[in-house]
Structure 1
Amino acid sequence: MSFAVWPEAIELGRMFAAEGYELALVGGPVRDLLLHRQSHDLDFCSSARPEQFEPILRRWGHDGFWDMGRKFGTLGAMRRRPDGTEVKVEVTTYRSDTYDPDSRKPEVNYGDSLEGDLSRRDFTVNAMALRVPDLEFVDPFGGANDLAKGVLRTPVDPRQSFDDDPLRMMRAVRFVAQLGFSIAPETAEALSDMVDRIEIVSAERVRDELTKMLLSDRPRAGVEALVESGLARIVLPEIPALELEIDEYHRHKDVFEHTMIVLDRAVALETGDDGPVPRPDLTLRLAALMHDVGKPRTRKFEAGGKVSFHHHDAVGAKMTRKRLKALRFDHHVVEDVSELVNLHLRFHGYVDEPWTDSAVRRYVKDSGHLYERLNRLTRADATTQNKRKAAVFASAMDEMEQRVRELKEKEDFDAIRPDLDGNEIMALLGLEPGPMVGRAYRHMLDYRLDNGPVDHDTAVAELTSWYAAQQAA
């Protein structure tokens, strides 16, 4: 088996060999070599202890060194190629971990062989190694064969593996999305039987795996594996809840299947780096995944056999905010995704009756920096199989977007403010700072959105008239 290996890996291997130490490229970089994929972050393991290989790594990594993983036997370094490309390496002493059943954090014990180190890895496709500098391929668990078959299997008994580190169950789902692999039957069975073990994993680690899964090329496959395995019941229970039982008259769609279609369509609507929603976009993908989570709680069977989901947008937004907070997503992600869920039905009224310019301004103003994502979520959500309805909807969205472009040529939507600011309102009405000033400001902002910019005298007349009505009431 021949490899086109990074020259930096060969050089580092020679430096370790000169000091009498073994060094091997392991895990993802070896897998990526076989898949002909690029990787600039290289993981190694070695017979040397950190204090022994630190001087070697410092000499090699003349552009950077770090030791945050020292207590786990890991040190890292970085160098830049002449073209500016960064090559980062991390070296870890051979390990033989033991785990506390109530924690996924291992008690680190140094091992004495490469094969022993590989046995503690998550899946066989990540349990291959390449000794450097002599390029001996080491594959004690058949990882190359599993890689060729597109199968995820654990090097040791899957129950032992998942019991030792339950996060590996999330990683299995993530690799389904990233690599397009399937989970081997015995591994899938163990995963489904042991999903409750994921509860000892921190929310942050679960969030990180979910994020990597959603940002992959196949997020739908990852979500479906998450649900099928039973993991979603614990880490994202709102999603399997979408698998509503469909009655014999098919009075509503399968909401889970609809959500998967919306996710696919949203991904397809992302743009290149120079577009408004560069691929991959976590906010849009999370919103597509969560947009209908309010439906199970709002489902109501109406007279005549109809099914309604009134206010599922508002209910879903609250549920989304609660779940993403529990998963420790950044505040801006929580707020943006929740707002997209809240607004995802906003456009639908336009299809029945095109909006006035003031309504278009409000749509753009209310969506703010989420405008481009909201339009893509709205388009993705239009999954009707009726070609005429689909064409009417697409045409209406095209028309609305064109109107927005034309209005933006006349005024800066991002800078829309009332024609009178707070200080002017207080001076004109003789008010001190307080709730009434806020109400007056909001009224003038609404007036601005409804009427566009007006001259100062007109704005003053409107404020005076509004305030008189408030006083009379």
Structure 2
Amino acid sequence: MNFKEQLDQQEIFARVGRIADQLGMETYVVGGYVRDLILNRPSKDIDFVCVGSGIQLAHAVAASFDKHVPLNVFKNFGTANIRLDDWDVEFVGARRESYRHDSRKPIVEDGTLQEDQERRDFTINALAICVNAARYGELIDPFDGLGDMKRKIIRTPTDPIITFSDDPLRMMRAIRFAAQLHFDIEPETFMAIVHDAHRIQIVSAERVIDELNKIIMTPKPSYGFKLLFVSKLLQEIFPEMVELQGVDSVGDKSHKDNFYHTLQVLDNVSQMSDNLWLRWAAILHDIAKPATKRFNPKVGWTFHGHEDRGARMVPGIFRRLKLPMDERMKYVQNLVRLHLRPIALVSDKVTDSAVRRLLFDAGDEVEDLMKLCRADITSKNNNKVQKFLANFDKVEAKMLEVEEKDHVRNFQPPVSGEEIMEIFGLPPSKAVGDLKEQIKEAILDGQIQNNKGEALDLLYKLAAHKGIQAKN
């Protein structure tokens, strides 16, 4: 099969081929770019493999342009990288690798193209297209990667036990590619993942979470999570989520399987948003249900307080998984803590005060909170789902009405602590904090409007009641 026409759409391929011929190097575009070209997926990363020095080839290619082309050389890895507009182009010499059982550091030696293809993770990533003039556009596919793409199969080019033993992260990558492409994993390859799942522990948490986040960002992430669960990888990397799985029954009373419910919520959120952290909030919204599960003979199974317990669990999970311990973690934590609050407002009798407090607590995250709550409505009874969603429409209308009137989102008290200290000649103290808090509560309860005039009137009354006199 010849891909000359496809390569001709980008000038870089003919240029690299021409320079490779001048240097006497066999050179190929390989890996993900070839895969995505065949699958008609967008790609901005191009990898070239040459039989020789990739660094030498990169220098020659960068020098061939009239303009300055940024060149980065990584001598320890034998690779070099150039940036061309929004293209990321990497050069490496063909190599073979071998590994010790207890190490992720490969022993790297120069090799042939076939040896380079053999060391790659999957057949769909082991294809190469020649860019030398004599064979320009020729596909080299020794492991039938093209056939696996047609069959929608993820398979290793050589023995999967060896492939995954060499680099256990490839087990995560197999599931990530299956989830991204919606392919199946070939049975022998999948059984090797099950066999070697425990070895993911020797891979750094940073590499693991990078693959997990890519799975989470697929159009239907539940598919990837089910593969992680069945392969036993999820038990190794995220045991708290595995604990959600299962149903307990006492008599005729049972609860839903919270693992599969969580996956449904995650899929629902993924249809609404590409926000990775909102998707993480979906994953963690019920994470504390196993810890709070109790059986009450009158009402059945309960999970009282799971939202607060879950919010307290979020920092520990983020820290262990090497997720960012910053505002993104706090965003997820806040959504987990608040995810039941809008459900409590689904009533015609909901008060303005309750809506104000939710708007105050959620701030700029209120829209994402409502997306999470809508996604959380899962039932086989479609009429029940539609009834709940209609009720949420009423809640959101009420939120708009209250916000327009009272302006409590990201609310800042109309009278600051500094002003209170200035008016009454007070030092920083609990008394100042108490006055400020009482003004806030009065606004949220609707006792006064959210404006400075009414806030100052109340401040003087509260201070007089406490025996605090103004300076003037």
TM-score, normalised with respect to structure 1: 0.90
Given the superposition, is the C-alpha separation of residues 354 and 15 from structure 1 closer, same or farther in structure 2, using an over 3 Å criterion?
A: farther
The 3-state SS of whatever aligns with 1:194 is helix
> Which of 295, 314, 338 is matched with 1:301 structurally?
295
1:431-467 CA-to-partner distances (Å, cap 9, x unmatched) read 2113332232222222222225356564234334445
Deviation at 1:366, TM superposition (A): 1.0
* Aligned residue runs from structure 1 range 88-107, under 5 A: 88-107=88-107
The 3-state SS of whatever aligns with 2:277 is helix
Q: Is the 8 A contact 1:417 1:448 kept in 2?
A: no
> Which of 10, 17, 21 is matched with 2:14 structurally?
10
Deviation at 1:22, TM superposition (A): 1.4
1:198-253 CA-to-partner distances (Å, cap 9, x unmatched) read 11111111111011111122211111111111111111112211112342635211
Q: Which residue of 2 aligns with 1:273?
A: none
> Which of 135, 143, 146 is matched with 2:145 structurally?
143
Q: Which residue of 2 aligns with 1:317?
A: 311
Given the superposition, is the C-alpha separation of residues 155 and 422 from structure 1 closer, same or farther in structure 2, using an over 3 Å criterion?
A: same
Q: Which residue of 2 aligns with 1:453?
A: 449
Task: Give the distance between the partners of 1:387 and 1:264, measured in 2 at CA.
Answer: 17
1:137-194 CA-to-partner distances (Å, cap 9, x unmatched) read 1111121111111111111211111111011011011112101111111111111111
1:312-364 CA-to-partner distances (Å, cap 9, x unmatched) read 11112222321122122122222211221111111111114543223222212
Task: Give the distance between the partners of 2:450 and 2:2, measured in 1 at CA.
Answer: 74
The 3-state SS of whatever aligns with 1:57 is helix
2:431 is the counterpart of 1:431: no
Q: Which residue of 2 aligns with 1:129?
A: 128
1:28-71 CA-to-partner distances (Å, cap 9, x unmatched) read 11111211222121111111214422321322564543425432
Q: Is the 8 A contact 1:294 1:313 kept in 2?
A: yes
Q: Is the 8 A contact 1:255 1:292 kept in 2?
A: yes
2:365 is the counterpart of 1:366: no
5+ residue gaps, structure 1, are 81-85, 271-279
Q: Which residue of 2 aligns with 1:187?
A: 189
Given the superposition, is the C-alpha separation of residues 68 and 306 from structure 1 closer, same or farther in structure 2, using an over 3 Å criterion?
A: farther
Q: Which residue of 1 aligns with 2:87?
A: 87
Task: Give the distance between the partners of 1:447 and 1:202, measured in 2 at CA.
Answer: 51
The CA RMSD over aligned residues, in Å, is 2.2
Residue 78 of structure 1 aligns with an amino acid whose one-letter code is: R
Q: Is the 8 A contact 1:104 1:167 kept in 2?
A: no
Task: Give the distance between the partners of 2:106 and 2:358, measured in 1 at CA.
Answer: 51
Q: Which residue of 1 aligns with 2:265?
A: 262
The 3-state SS of whatever aligns with 1:37 is coil
Residue 127 of structure 2 aligns with an amino acid whose one-letter code is: M
> Which of 442, 458, 461 is matched with 1:462 structurally?
458
Q: Which residue of 2 aligns with 1:73?
A: 78
The 3-state SS of whatever aligns with 2:25 is coil
2:377 is the counterpart of 1:377: no
The 3-state SS of whatever aligns with 1:307 is strand
Q: Which residue of 1 aligns with 2:43?
A: 39
- Greater shift, 122-131 or 235-244, is seen at 235-244
Residue 93 of structure 2 aligns with an amino acid whose one-letter code is: T
> Which of 157, 175, 178 is matched with 1:176 structurally?
178
Deviation at 1:91, TM superposition (A): 0.9
* Aligned residue runs from structure 1 range 22-37, under 5 A: 22-37=26-41
2:336 is the counterpart of 1:341: yes
Deviation at 1:294, TM superposition (A): 0.7
Residue 218 of structure 2 aligns with an amino acid whose one-letter code is: S
Q: Is the 8 A contact 2:2 2:138 kept in 1?
A: no
Q: How many equivalent pairs are there?
A: 457
Q: Which residue of 2 aligns with 1:420?
A: 415
Q: Which residue of 1 aligns with 2:398?
A: 403
The 3-state SS of whatever aligns with 2:298 is helix
Q: Which residue of 2 aligns with 1:83?
A: none
5+ residue gaps, structure 2, are none
The 3-state SS of whatever aligns with 1:97 is strand
Task: Give the distance between the partners of 2:451 and 2:192, measured in 1 at CA.
Answer: 71
Task: Give the distance between the partners of 1:454 and 1:250, measured in 2 at CA.
Answer: 48
Given the superposition, is the C-alpha separation of residues 295 and 469 from structure 1 closer, same or farther in structure 2, using an over 3 Å criterion?
A: farther
Residue 13 of structure 1 aligns with an amino acid whose one-letter code is: G
The 3-state SS of whatever aligns with 2:240 is coil
The 3-state SS of whatever aligns with 1:91 is strand
Given the superposition, is the C-alpha separation of residues 454 and 322 from structure 1 closer, same or farther in structure 2, using an over 3 Å criterion?
A: closer
Q: Is the 8 A contact 1:302 1:308 kept in 2?
A: yes
The 3-state SS of whatever aligns with 1:108 is strand
Q: Is the 8 A contact 1:426 1:432 kept in 2?
A: yes
Given the superposition, is the C-alpha separation of residues 433 and 38 from structure 1 closer, same or farther in structure 2, using an over 3 Å criterion?
A: same
The 3-state SS of whatever aligns with 1:44 is strand
1:66-116 CA-to-partner distances (Å, cap 9, x unmatched) read 425432111111223xxxxx22211111121222333323233222x1110
- Greater shift, 154-163 or 69-78, is seen at 69-78
Task: Give the distance between the partners of 1:469 and 1:349, measured in 2 at CA.
Answer: 35
Task: Give the distance between the partners of 2:462 and 2:186, measured in 1 at CA.
Answer: 69
Residue 327 of structure 1 aligns with an amino acid whose one-letter code is: L
Q: Which residue of 2 aligns with 1:275?
A: none
- Greater shift, 238-247 or 412-421, is seen at 412-421
